[in-house]
A and B are shown apart, each in its own frame.
Chain A
């Protein structure tokens, strides 16, 4: 503890420290010599491509993947073409860019995922140099070809190749270059001798860094900071220029006195950096050059690789893995010699009393949350930094990366128990935390080819049973992708939302099962999706057969056909031998048809179908309709009446109104119209015409089947009391009172009521009496009512 500042070196106002992260677990016989190395930022994995020891044409280089602590994760002989560059994507996939422009993608465990090409012209010209870069758009690849042309792929997951314009005067590869992301644009900055160019989509612009020392003949190395904000240029005169990437400001210039090109050059900054610096690496020398123009020198005793981080530089060697960074101000406050900052005092107190959170209780206004969350963070960081996991994250990096991404990375490394532990420890909501990890575990589990379906399904359901928000269909989809259809179906059984099962079932060609599940879900949209799918997949007969067994789907499809495919509807009914519906179908069609002949033939089809359905009633009704239509047409042609389409009743009414009594009689007989209806019709028609003579004749023609009260009523309705009176005498005794009242004959009504001795009828008459009614009549009525009541 006391020597914690022993490896601190001052640089300007700040300190730099180099601390050991790991004693590497790998054993590399020749160190990193002759190795192509790629190490991912944020403490990510390290890939090595080692040239074969025996230089023979048949010998293959070996590709090895290690964790940051040097634990082997994969190793296999490289059987593809010569590799120009290795790199890691933001989601820990390995990119290998080959000479011919093919980019191969492997996962963390060396499993091949896919490949893509950087363009056809590259195959001829070959890739001279390549770089992998990260931007807000994802992981990108930039190459320069033998024809000195640059090609960019901004995002390898959404591949769009951009060939950049030609650079004037450039032969072969530039002396150095870098990819910049500025103002949502990705550009290439390159140096050709002393000339510096910015290359964007459309143009190649020469630029001059302000205040670059004039002695330089050539820029031989360059570095862009992690945030793309700062640029460092190294010239053959040994000058290191530092400034902003937009080349407007110069920060500093340091003379290093070394003229050979550094093997690697990276920025070392941290958020709120006091003293940013550039780290330069030569064979045996590591130089930290600060903006303050001071430098720190370290001697290297082995081949190393520098990895830029958000808040420093990692230095990976064959035996050690170190971190070089500016000492954070918090650390500085605590450990600086003779510091009197609160942290330092607390540390002293801790040493005295061995109480970790001693003193916290003396702070009255200090909220406990930051303390608790910091302790949690530290615990998480310590557990992932453990040698066996090998993710050496700093707290700054961890905050930048977020816990979600950390969990993803652990899951990707198949460290499921640790990931779940962390989720539980940090109380991440189950949906985003534990459930997500379990889902990944299950997706991985289903790929274990040696285990039988039954036991995998059981294992998955046991583990996942209680977790919230698990989508079994996603796991099943993965199983299906691995060719395990039976397992997928077993897993789908666990999916509680039947709607989720359907798309996969369709994909697996289990459409019948899919249809049942869709119907079970009660979601008609889903049912309809399956129906549409089946319609395209099956032949018509099978399709109809399937629908026939599923009434819900059938009704849905019928509804659709009603609007969209009338003919299909007919076929559906035909298939089912549903003659009744077919009959209805033709009747419906007949009403949409304007031409009479076509209409009649449709109705004839309807009659045939109804007969087949043994629906005599409907058949007869339809036949009569045809007969009526023909009759109407004849009459329309003969007399110019517009009868076509009227109902029988309306036709009769129209005929009677127009004085076609003979034709009306004929219809009445032909269609066996009930007497009652005919009498009502004729009565109304005659009254409407006020043809009172004809009405009287009609009344006398024979005994009325509807009685004579209607005669009285129609006359009254037409305000003809005189005519009405004629029929009052013919009315049956039960209706006498009503008839008299209808014509307003109160006395007559009273007489009739008293005669019939009906209490109810007398009351009705009484109710119609007014104060002006004859007193004597009133008395008679009242008397009669009381006698009737006594009975």
Chain B
């Protein structure tokens, strides 16, 4: 391994408790509807559910048949139906249709709707309006947090990003607050909370309110510090191509709920295979955080080691052989299997990655981050669009261009947009409208007046009014100030030195040494400074609603070096990428911290941009 682990790194707390709690509650809820029943599960709850309770467990609690919610009429013959859904209007509407259809033919059944992780008033109103509130019982399955790995916990709410940052719908903020509260009561008390972003601030407040309402237990903290960050504080990072193994696998094969499906080209057989990707997979665990260029080296070394281990057999007598077979062989075989899978995946990715256009795309990306040869970049993007290469990739490059350049020149904006519409269809007019609203792709405003005025006003008036004003401004134009931030925080390392990806010197290694993710840099800086002091200009440019709160009486250990103080929970509101997680793991190893990443969902460029498409909603 390239990085040496600091020996005093603290142990992570055991998050499997979260799974047990969720399972127990689900079983309790299922038992509230005694007897055989059919279970309808919202499509995007299926994978998370699978991590909590498998089919056998469900059957043990009298679930007869399992169906996916497909928003069409149902075929079940059971006289008890249970729906396990997200609190979404469309799904509730569909349930109303199901119930009303039964009523129309005089069929009597019992219905139970379990909302996960909570119900919304709007859903209940709908049940009422449709006149079926008396026919169904409703419940909440407070399954807020799914541990995806030892250090990753997901809320599995991909819609958080669009709902919150684009639609201005804050319904999930309280959910985030409740999740934080749950973690606090199980692994807290947290002694320090840092945060940046409006949504983070609100989630923090919602959590504090829940703490106040509930009873306090005095316990030894497992997690000392918390950092909350809004995704829209740093939109550049998730739009970059990922080149660290785990991130790349996510970009190319899409990891779903910690599980990836490798197609026949990877498994070198005729069928696909689902593989869990986490620290249990020894091979994966060693390469997940590595830059892709290093992975082949690791894998071939691993293969050699494995061969040596197998070769030990040759000189063995019967007894040694017996112990070898009973103790080592199984592990070796498993490792062998995993190794061949990851080699397969790497080869498949290599094919895509080494293609000419991928290399050129990376080059363009790096130029954009550096602010170098922008005209060439624009021509590249233009050609990309003209050749109707991937729709999402084109959009990604356009957004990166806008974010790094503080918007496009009006001329470029118009012509690129026009060409985009010619290539991919006029319906993207709506997509562009969304991108503009979110500040991902904007036209440069004449002069910088707006930002300056905005920040001045922000200084003058108090927080609440500033919030409203910012709302007003942000609908006019969002500024990213990327270039200035990059200079101030040294996000782009000097390009004249060779960057040795084998021995990374900073978090930039996750982007081939071209860029240190802003989100992770902020975390590093705040932890180092123990607050936001000295970062005033940075936060002003981010327009961030930053805060740092130290808990009062049960405050931190005077030495401040107890294990819990070095375990830091980072919560991304709106999603985070695997690359960012890798960067934080790197930072942790350097500084002797352990990071626990809590995110509303794992995201990447494609997911961010697909959520901006309008047929999405």
- Whether A299 is near chain B, meaning CB under 8 Å from some CB there, is no
Set B125, B205, B614: member contacting A522, Cβ < 8 A: B205
* A524 with B424: CB separation less than 8 A: no
Set B170, B205, B386: member contacting A524, Cβ < 8 A: B170
Given A551-B468, A617-B417, A649-B422 in contact, is the A532-B205 Cβ separation under 8 Å?
no
* A564 with B422: CB separation less than 8 A: no
* A647 with B422: CB separation less than 8 A: yes
Query: What are 10 residue pairs bridging A and B, where the CB atoms are less than 8 Å apart in the complex?
Result: A521-B209, A522-B202, A528-B121, A532-B125, A551-B168, A551-B471, A558-B167, A563-B90, A564-B126, A584-B433
Given A522-B205, A551-B471, A621-B421 in contact, is the A580-B168 Cβ separation under 8 Å?
no
Collect the chain A residues with CB atoms within 8 Å of residue B388's CB: 649-650, 653
Given A562-B617, A584-B433 in contact, is the A591-B427 Cβ separation under 8 Å?
yes
* B209 with A497: CB separation less than 8 A: yes
- Whether B387 is near chain A, meaning CB under 8 Å from some CB there, is yes
B517 to chain A, nearest CB (A): 29
Set B414, B419, B433: member contacting A580, Cβ < 8 A: B433
Stretch in A101-109, A353-361, A674-682 with 4+ CB within 8 Å of B: A674-682
Q: How far is the CA of A524 from the CA of B163 in the complex (A)?
A: 12
A709 to chain B, nearest CB (A): 11
Given A497-B209, A563-B93, A584-B430 in contact, is the A556-B169 Cβ separation under 8 Å?
yes
- Whether A525 is near chain B, meaning CB under 8 Å from some CB there, is yes
* B426 with A621: CB separation less than 8 A: yes
Given A524-B171, A587-B427, A587-B430 in contact, is the A560-B89 Cβ separation under 8 Å?
yes
Q: Closest A residue to B166 by CB, please name it.
A: A555
* 8 shortest interchain CB distances as A-B pairs: A555-B168, A647-B425, A625-B426, A525-B121, A524-B171, A563-B89, A677-B386, A648-B422
- Whether A673 is near chain B, meaning CB under 8 Å from some CB there, is yes
* A677 with B417: CB separation less than 8 A: no
Annotate A499-515 by CB proximity to B: 1 below 8 A, 0 otherwise. 00000000000000000
Collect the chain A residues with CB atoms within 8 Å of residue B174's CB: 522-525
Set B205, B212, B429: member contacting A621, Cβ < 8 A: B429
- Whether A622 is near chain B, meaning CB under 8 Å from some CB there, is yes
Collect the chain B residues with CB atoms within 8 Å of residue A646's CB: 425
* B89 with A564: CB separation less than 8 A: yes
Chain A contact patch, size range = 35 or more
Q: How far is the CA of A562 from the CA of B427 in the complex (A)?
A: 18
Q: Closest B residue to A564 by CB, please name it.
A: B89
A716 to chain B, nearest CB (A): 12
- Whether A51 is near chain B, meaning CB under 8 Å from some CB there, is no
Q: How far is the CA of A624 from the CA of B174 in the complex (A)?
A: 45
Collect the chain B residues with CB atoms within 8 Å of residue A554's CB: 168
- Whether B310 is near chain A, meaning CB under 8 Å from some CB there, is no
Given A559-B163, A563-B90 in contact, is the A524-B169 Cβ separation under 8 Å?
yes
- Whether A552 is near chain B, meaning CB under 8 Å from some CB there, is yes
- Whether A529 is near chain B, meaning CB under 8 Å from some CB there, is yes
* A528 with B122: CB separation less than 8 A: yes
Q: How far is the CA of A509 from the CA of B387 in the complex (A)?
A: 61
The prevalent SS among residues of A at the interface is helix
* B171 with A624: CB separation less than 8 A: no
- Whether B418 is near chain A, meaning CB under 8 Å from some CB there, is yes
| A 472-518 contacts with B by CB, 8 A | 496-497
- Whether B307 is near chain A, meaning CB under 8 Å from some CB there, is no
Given A528-B121, A591-B427, A677-B386 in contact, is the A671-B422 Cβ separation under 8 Å?
yes
Q: How far is the CA of A523 from the CA of B202 in the complex (A)?
A: 10
Q: How far is the CA of A363 from the CA of B419 in the complex (A)?
A: 97
Q: Closest A residue to B413 by CB, please name it.
A: A617
Q: Which of A496, A563, A673 has the most CB of B within 10 A?
A: A563
- Whether A261 is near chain B, meaning CB under 8 Å from some CB there, is no
* B170 with A552: CB separation less than 8 A: yes
Collect the chain A residues with CB atoms within 8 Å of residue B433's CB: 580, 584
- Whether A449 is near chain B, meaning CB under 8 Å from some CB there, is no
Set B90, B414, B419: member contacting A674, Cβ < 8 A: B419
Q: Closest A residue to B388 by CB, please name it.
A: A649
Q: How far is the CA of A521 from the CA of B177 in the complex (A)?
A: 12
- Whether B557 is near chain A, meaning CB under 8 Å from some CB there, is no
| B 376-433 contacts with A by CB, 8 A | 382-383, 386-388, 414, 417-419, 421-427, 429-430, 433
Which residues of A are in contact with B by a Cβ distance under 8 Å?
Answer: 496-497, 521-526, 528-529, 532, 551-552, 554-556, 558-560, 562-564, 580, 584, 587-588, 591, 617-618, 621-622, 624-625, 628, 646-650, 653, 671, 673-674, 676-677, 680, 684, 706
- Whether B120 is near chain A, meaning CB under 8 Å from some CB there, is yes
Q: How far is the CA of A521 from the CA of B89 in the complex (A)?
A: 23
Q: How far is the CA of A42 from the CA of B426 in the complex (A)?
A: 82
Q: How far is the CA of A522 from the CA of B417 in the complex (A)?
A: 37
* A555 with B167: CB separation less than 8 A: yes
* B121 with A680: CB separation less than 8 A: no
Q: How far is the CA of A51 from the CA of B404 in the complex (A)?
A: 95
Q: How far is the CA of A524 from the CA of B125 in the complex (A)?
A: 14
Collect the chain B residues with CB atoms within 8 Å of residue A650's CB: 388, 425
* A624 with B426: CB separation less than 8 A: yes
Q: How far is the CA of A614 from the CA of B221 in the complex (A)?
A: 58
Q: How far is the CA of A551 from the CA of B425 in the complex (A)?
A: 32
Q: How far is the CA of A680 from the CA of B382 in the complex (A)?
A: 12
Q: How far is the CA of A671 from the CA of B426 in the complex (A)?
A: 13
Q: How far is the CA of A258 from the CA of B422 in the complex (A)?
A: 113
* B386 with A674: CB separation less than 8 A: yes
Known: A584-B430, A591-B427, A653-B388. 15 other contacts (CB 8 A): A522-B173, A523-B174, A523-B206, A524-B173, A526-B121, A554-B168, A560-B122, A562-B617, A587-B426, A587-B427, A587-B430, A649-B423, A649-B424, A673-B422, A680-B387
Given A556-B169, A563-B89, A676-B386 in contact, is the A529-B121 Cβ separation under 8 Å?
yes
Q: Which of B90, B414, B425 has the most CB of A within 10 A?
A: B425
B239 to chain A, nearest CB (A): 23
B298 to chain A, nearest CB (A): 23
Collect the chain A residues with CB atoms within 8 Å of residue B93's CB: 563
Q: How far is the CA of A525 from the CA of B171 in the complex (A)?
A: 7
Collect the chain A residues with CB atoms within 8 Å of residue B418's CB: 617, 621
* A622 with B422: CB separation less than 8 A: no
Q: Closest A residue to B436 by CB, please name it.
A: A580
* A522 with B430: CB separation less than 8 A: no
Collect the chain B residues with CB atoms within 8 Å of residue A649's CB: 388, 422-424
Q: Closest B residue to A581 by CB, please name it.
A: B433
Q: How far is the CA of A497 from the CA of B615 in the complex (A)?
A: 39
Q: How far is the CA of A552 from the CA of B202 in the complex (A)?
A: 13
Collect the chain A residues with CB atoms within 8 Å of residue B426's CB: 587, 621-622, 624-625, 628, 647
B447 to chain A, nearest CB (A): 20
* A622 with B423: CB separation less than 8 A: no
A657 to chain B, nearest CB (A): 14
Q: How far is the CA of A368 from the CA of B612 in the complex (A)?
A: 70
B229 to chain A, nearest CB (A): 18
